[in-house]
């Protein structure tokens, strides 16, 4: 960790890609479920909650990564919580001042960013072990993955439950029996979340299986090539 290895571009891009797909906090790690279910009654709420968490996550990851050699092991969790709660208070105050309507609709869940397990998990699992820049990128990646998941969920629930997306009514487009209010209620939240996890995991698994099979096929080809070469040499 402390050797003076130079950071490559890949070191910075991998955390972002992983955060969105392989380690997607919502669908893969199933962390931070409370805000995921509670605020996704509309796409815009999901998006803004995601961005708020992304901001707190990047800032806290940077600070924790900077202080990783100074925080004693035994009191690390209270230290992390203190750092995280500072930034969530910042978000709370800024939102209250500049976008009060959003502040009202997210309500209780802005101060509750503090106890979002994603933040503590990334602090403990990544930022406290890595350098500042990769930690910031990890925060960005995980945050974007979270934002994406929340926005998708919000859009689905808003579309089925209220017949709109991002507040624009789509009633004219759809002749179906919309809206089905249950999708805005808690029951619909649980249901959409469960089904989305299934869809996401199946898709990601299938894609990675396919790319692995392709890779191993290529590898097999290379191997046979080498073998024939060796045979030729032997001959």
Partner 1 sequence: MSVTAILVLVVNAILVNNFILSRFLGICPFLGVSKKIDTALGMGFAVIFVMGVASVITYALNLLLIKANILYLQTIVFILVIASLIQLVEIVVKRFSPGLYSALGVYLPLITTNCAVLGVAIMNVSIPVSSAASGLLIAFINGISSGIGFTIAILILAGIREKLETADIPKSFQGFPITLLIASIMAMAFAAFSGFNIG
**Residues at the contact surface with partner 1, assessed by CB under 8 A:** 30-31, 33-35, 37-38, 77-78, 81-82, 85-86, 88-89, 92-93, 108, 111-112, 114-117, 120, 182, 185-191, 193-195, 197-198, 201-202
Query: Which secondary-structure segment (H or E) carries 165?
Result: strand 164-165
Q: Which tokens belong to 182?
A: 């249950």
**Is the distance from CB of 161 to CB of 179 less than 8 angstroms?**
yes
Nearer to partner 1, 35 or 139 (CB): 35
Query: At its nearest, how many Å lie between partner 1 and the CB of residue 215?
Result: 23
**Least separation in angstroms between CB 18 and partner 1:** 20
CB-based burial label for 116 (10 Å; 0-12, 13-18, 19+): buried
**CA-closest candidate to residue 20, choices 146, 193, 197:** 146
What minimum distance in Å lies between the beta carbon of 117 and partner 1?
A: 5
Report the residue number, 126 or 134, with the smaller CB distance to partner 1: 126
Other CB atoms within 10 Å distance of the CB of residue 24: 24
Question: Whole-number minimum distance, CB 114 to partner 1, in Å?
Answer: 5
Q: What's the rounded Cα separation, in Å, for the pair 228 and 207?
A: 32
Q: Let me know if 57 is exposed, middle or buried by CB neighbors in 10 A (0-12, 13-18, 19+).
A: buried
Q: Rank residues 93 and 207 by Cβ distance to partner 1 and give the closer one.
A: 93
Beta carbon nearer to partner 1, 61 or 88: 88
Q: Quick one: 205 or 230, whose CB is closer to partner 1? A: 205
Residue 67 or 112: the one with the smaller Cβ distance to partner 1 is 112
What torsion, rounded to 10 degrees, do the Cα atoms 22, 132, 116, 23 define?
Answer: 0
Distance CA(172)–CA(107), nearest Å, equals: 32
At its nearest, how many Å lie between partner 1 and the CB of residue 95? 13
Cβ 163 to partner 1 shortest distance, Å: 20
């Amino acid at each position: 960790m402390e050797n003076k290895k130079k950071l490559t571009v890949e070191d910075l891009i991998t955390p972002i890609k992983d955060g969105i797909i392989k380690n997607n906090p919502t669908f893969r790690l199933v962390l931070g479920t409370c805000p995921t279910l509670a605020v996704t009654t509309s796409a815009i709420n999901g998006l803004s909650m995601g961005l708020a968490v992304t901001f707190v996550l990047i800032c806290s990851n940077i600070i924790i990564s900077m202080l990783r050699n100074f925080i004693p092991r035994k009191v690390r969790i209270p230290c992390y919580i203190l750092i995280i709660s500072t930034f969530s208070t910042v978000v709370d105050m800024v939102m209250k001042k500049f976008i009060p309507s959003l502040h009202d609709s997210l309500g209780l869940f802005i101060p509750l960013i503090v106890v979002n397990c994603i933040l503590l998990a990334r602090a403990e699992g990544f930022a406290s072990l890595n350098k500042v820049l990769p930690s910031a990128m990890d925060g960005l990646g995980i945050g974007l993955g979270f934002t994406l998941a929340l926005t998708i969920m919000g859009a689905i629930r808003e579309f089925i439950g209220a017949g709109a997306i991002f507040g624009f009514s789509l009633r004219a487009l759809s002749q179906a029996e919309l809206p089905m209010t249950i999708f805005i209620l808690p029951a619909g939240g649980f249901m959409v979340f469960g089904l989305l996890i299934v869809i996401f995991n199946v898709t990601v698994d299938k894609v990675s299986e396919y790319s692995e099979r392709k890779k191993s096929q290529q590898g097999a080809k290379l191997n046979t090539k080498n073998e024939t070469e060796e045979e030729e040499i032997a001959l």
